[in-house]
Amino acid sequence: MTDAPPLTESDDAPSDQPLLRVEDLRVTFDSPRGMVRAINGVDFTLEQGKTLAIVGESGSGKSVTARTIMNLLPSTATIEGTIGFDDLDLRNVSKARAKHLMGVDIAMVFQDPMTSLNPVKRIGAQLTESMRYHLGMSRADATERAIELLGKVGIPSPAQRIRQYPHELSGGMRQRVVIAIALACEPRLLIADEPTTALDVTVQKHILDLLGDLQAEEGMSMILITHDLGVAAGRADEIAVMYAGRIVERTSATQLFAESRHPYTDALLRSIPQVSQPSHTRLTPIPGRPPDLINLPDACAYAPRCRFAQADCLESVPPVQGVAGMHEFACFFPANTDRGREALASNVAAGTTAAGLEIEGYVSGGVS
Amino acid sequence: MKYALTRLAQAVVILIVVTFLTFWMQTLLPGNPCIVATGGLTSDELVAKCEVDLKVGENVFVRYADWGTNFISGDLGESYVNGRTVWDDLKQRFPPTGFLFLYSQVVALGVAVPGGIWAAYMAGRKAKRNIPTWLPFAIVGGIVAVSIALGTSVFTLILLAIFATVVIQTLRGGAAQDQLVSASAFFLLSVPVVVLAIVGQWLFAIRWNLYDLSGYTPPSEGLFDHVKSLWLPSVVIGLSLSPVYLRLLRADMIQNLQQDFVNVAKAKGMPPSTILLRHVLRPSTLTLLTVAGLNVAQLVNGAVIVEVLYDVDGMGSYLVSKFLGREFIVVQTLVALIATIFVLANLAVDLFYGVVDPRVRVERSKG
Ligand SMILES: Nc1ncnc2c1ncn2[C@@H]1O[C@H](COP(=O)(O)OP(=O)(O)O)[C@@H](O)[C@H]1O
Ligand code: SF4
Ligand SMILES: [Mg+2]
């Protein structure tokens, strides 16, 4: 267990290491305005066959995390930290191994199916391309498998579809094609970056169910990125909540919905009408905006919007605490704890938090 | 198909309007065209024949209709100065210009397509080595200083400086190479064709004696001699056209490289060459095609200077001589011919869009 995250408990450790291990990942971008600190120390692991949901508002760093793993960042990015996949160090892969790595062992589904497919190439060519390149399949074999794959992702009359161009398909159908492309070489890890955000509500559930079914069938690991905690409910084994480039809370889905610790998660849960049922409502009702990633304060990044915030929160960045690998969170006054309840009560009494946020009669999971 | 027919009908209308307007303007010129054209040097019978042929004195519509019917039936008229038919002249004058155009396009695209792809690819990459900005200047400055001290010629000095810059930018790699290609393109763009033609002539025909200024050789007299007789003017015109093509292609490629489908292709693990050539190049050629179509106008105007300088007896010099000789009815016929080629070439480009991008076909079928 040399690659285990520093906080992993030794007694309960699994015998073989997790498939994906991200340790202290940091990503910055050079921009005309200055250095954008998009990812600021992200740690997580993902077991073979499991699903991790990464949840957070727009701009919290979910896509950058995915793109870092996929090695898709632009040249303005600077990366630190390690990404372990199986027995590989993804940031230092030999040229020979890298040639047949992405698209074969790790694949990705993108947010917008309307722009994910090449408009001037037929569906069939886009599907068979990677099989022919990576697996050395003949055109006929690859085409046969492409038809099979299209059937698998629920596309009617697949044999005709491969002759069509993307613009001849609906958004939902295109996303199915994108999924088929990702599955072409039977990846062990599938990263789905908001795969349903751009789709009609009626189609969203179908695509998510399809992803779930395929994952179970193929025994893949999956990272499901979403801004909607409702999407993660019932589909993820584990949930990581991201805020300003950090994972602020990470635990099993059941634990998160039962007893969240981070005030941000708490607020997210509150923004879903009914926790027990998956929903597709957007997570916006949290007042305020995320911090400017160019001028990140040396404090809790959530403090200006946090109803629990105390003076301590403005002095340093809260470290990760909790039960390592089981329930981790980065907060000085966690919700659903006595400490948190006290902090909230004193803020409610004062009518304002230490960061100056005005609150009246806020009912929190902390006050039960 | 319906779209193609509509566009063809449009093209015909455009041609009628253009030729009529030039015809009408030509009739506004003072004097009897038959006498003006010959400068009074030919016999009275010829002038009389010419007046009958051209229906001088009739109204402009009748004359245009007559000229138009002849033009369509292939009777391009004749010169009353030397009695040769325009058709005979064209058989001699068109091939050099046609080949020159063809070869220059090949050169232009041969430089612009790889250059544009390479520059677009490099533009998005990190530098390989960190060479400080002052160093190249110091090295080039050093070369200049040493050359001056040694008394080498200005020419050698320029070559050395260019060589040093290329080497340094290549060592830097990444965006520096895009800068090198783009800056060279910009430099070429700002050099007028005349200058390029004269410098080329001086370098290759005079200094190094690699090109004979002996005029055009038709392919029938040997392919080697044929190419030998046209390569330098083709390179000159091609080089002067290439920066425009290169910059258009580079810009479109850079834009298309930002598209999501490129990330999908990368996530599929496709190598850069596949992504550039099989995914991005084709949708990036639409602007290039458009401009190449418009460049058919170069068939005559752009080539004039080069044809004159390189002693190629083509359409450019033909048109100029007929114009200076005030044989406006011949000029009219040539203008109509060029306009026809131009409109047809652009029609072809227009129809080709649909082949390049299937989405265009859909939009068109919607009307
Ligand atoms: N290429 C880039 N250059 C500069 N900043 C970037 C770049 N890509 C992403 N960012 C910034 O990183 C932050 C996280 O972005 P992203 O991961 O896309 O968020 P999301 O959680 O919505 O997927 C955002 O503030 C975004 O502006
Ligand atoms: S209580 Fe403090 S540390 Fe916790 S989220 Fe709020 S501001 Fe941050
Ligand atoms: Mg995103």
Q: What is the pLDDT of residue A72?
A: 94
DSSP string across A43-72? EEEE-TT-EEEEE--TTSSHHHHHHHHHT-
Q: What is the pLDDT of residue B38?
A: 65
Q: What is the pLDDT of residue B34?
A: 75
Outline where chain A has alpha helix (H). Answer: 62-70, 95-99, 113-116, 123-135, 139-152, 158-161, 171-183, 201-218, 229-232, 253-258, 263-270, 338-350
**How much is the average pLDDT of A215-236?**
91
Closest to A41 in 3D by CA, of A85, A90, A5, A80? A80
Contact B343, B14 (CB under 8 A): yes
3-state secondary structure of B71: helix
Q: What is the pLDDT of residue A3?
A: 47
Contact A109, A182 (CB under 8 A): yes
Domain boundaries, chain A: 260-272+299-368
Q: What's the token pair of residue A188?
A: 């062990």
Neighbours of B366 (CB within 10 A): 6
What is the Cα–Cα distance from A202 to A196, expressed in whole angstroms?
10
Minimum-distance CB partner of B267 among A72, A119, A134: A72
Minimum-distance CB partner of A101 among B174, B259, B269: B269
| pLDDT tens digits for range A58-74 | 999 999 999 999 999 99
Neighbours of A92 (CB within 10 A): 9
Residues with CB under 6 A from ligand 1: A 29, 31, 36, 38, 56, 58-64, 74, 76, 293
Q: What is the pLDDT of residue A9?
A: 42
> Half-sphere exposure (CA, 13 Å, Cβ side) for A159?
2
- Higher pLDDT, residue A8 or B218: B218
What is the Cα–Cα distance from B88 to B76, expressed in whole angstroms?
10
The low-confidence residues of chain B, meaning pLDDT below 70, are: 37-42, 298-302, 367
| pLDDT tens digits for range A85-108 | 999 999 999 999 999 999 999 999
Angstrom CA distances, A7 to A45, A53, A320, A322, stand at: 12, 20, 9, 9
Closest to B29 in 3D by CA, of B329, B322, B336? B329
Give the position of tokens 């058709």. B87
Lowest mean pLDDT among A9-23, A233-247, B249-263: A9-23
What is the Cα–Cα distance from A84 to B223, expressed in whole angstroms?
62
Q: DSSP letter at A35?
A: E
Q: What's the token pair of residue A281?
A: 């409502």
- Provide CB contacts within 8 A for A100, sequence distance 6+: A134, B269
Q: Is the pLDDT of residue A240 over 90?
A: yes
* Parallel, antiparallel or unpaired: strands A88-89 and A106-109: unpaired
Please judge whether A116 and B283 are an interchain contact, meaning their C-beta atoms are less than 8 angstroms apart. no
Neighbours of A161 (CB within 10 A): 23
Closest to A103 in 3D by CA, of A164, A178, A17? A178
Q: Which residues of B touch A100 (CB under 8 A)?
A: 269
Neighbours of A4 (CB within 10 A): 18
Q: What is the pLDDT of residue B39?
A: 64
Q: What is the pLDDT of residue A366?
A: 43
Mean pLDDT of chain A: 88
Q: Which residues of B touch A101 (CB under 8 A)?
A: 269
Contact A57, A227 (CB under 8 A): yes
What is the Cα–Cα distance from A119 to A167, expressed in whole angstroms?
7
Q: DSSP letter at B219?
A: G
* Test mutation, B261, B262, B266, chain A, max A CBs within 10 A: B261
**How much is the average pLDDT of A145-165?**
93
What is the Cα–Cα distance from B356 to A123, expressed in whole angstroms?
16
Closest to A229 in 3D by CA, of A185, A262, A190, A183? A262
ipTM: 0.86
What whole-number percentage of chain A has pLDDT above 70?
90
CA angle A85, B127, B240 (to 5 degrees): 130
Q: What is the pLDDT of residue A198?
A: 83
Angstrom CA distances, B78 to A41, B71, B129, B152, B329, stand at: 84, 12, 67, 57, 9
Please judge whether B279 and A121 are an interchain contact, meaning their C-beta atoms are less than 8 angstroms apart. yes
Q: What is the pLDDT of residue A329?
A: 96
Q: Is the pLDDT of residue A16 over 90?
A: no
**How much is the average pLDDT of A5-23?**
65
Give the position of tokens 């520093």. A6
| pLDDT tens digits for range A275-320 | 444 555 444 468 888 999 999 989 999 999 999 999 999 999 999 9
CA distance A311 to chain B (A): 43
Minimum-distance CB partner of B268 among A120, A121, A130: A130
- Residue B100: phi and psi, rounded to 5, are -60, -45
Lowest mean pLDDT among A169-178, A196-205, B98-107: A196-205
- Nearest C-alpha to atom 7 of ligand 2 is from which residue? A303
Please judge whether A102 and B267 are an interchain contact, meaning their C-beta atoms are less than 8 angstroms apart. yes
Domain B94-128+173-314 classified CATH 1.10.1200.10? no
A184 burial class (0-12, 13-18, 19+ CB within 10 angstroms)?
buried
Contact A269, A275 (CB under 8 A): yes
